[in-house]
Amino acid sequence: MLNALDKIGNKKRHLTLKEKALFLSLLTLLFLALLVPVVQAARSRQLIVQRRGIEKELQRLEEERRIILSLIAEASLPEVISEKAANNNLLLEKILGENIKVVTIKE
């Protein structure tokens, strides 16, 4: 009886073409199933890095805007205007609204 089991155990079974194709398909599917989360994680990381860069750029632009607004506000102060006029030998006088005449031309 031992000889009969040895003969059965030593017999090799050959895979058919259909079984080989099924095996390769399953391996491919398994590879893709493992690859999808890796690709998703890489894309997520890329978007996070890109978002941080955009946030830094937005912060820089906001800071630049505040600086410009402060320079405009400073330049429009009466003391600054008077000082600049004095440096350029200009005389600033108040204009009364009663003395102004507005002329409009219609075509």
**In a domain? residue 103:** no
Structural domains counted in the chain? 1
Taking the model in full, what pTM does it have? 0.51
User: What CA–CA distance (Å, rounded) separates 31 from 9?
Assistant: 32
**In a domain? residue 61:** yes
- Dihedral of the CA atoms 62, 63, 68, 72 (nearest 10)? 100
Tell me how far CA of residue 12 lies from CA of 8, 19, 27, 62, in angstroms: 9, 15, 23, 75
Q: Are 102 and 95 in contact (CB under 8 A)?
A: no
Structure tokens at 64: 């630049």
Domain limits at 25? 15-90
pLDDT for residue 91: 76
pLDDT for residue 52: 98
**In a domain? residue 24:** yes
Question: Hey, CA dihedral for 23, 25, 27, 29, is it positive or negative?
Answer: negative
Residue numbers in the chain where pLDDT is lower than 70:
1-12
pLDDT tens-digit readout, 40-57: 999 999 999 999 999 999
**In a domain? residue 6:** no
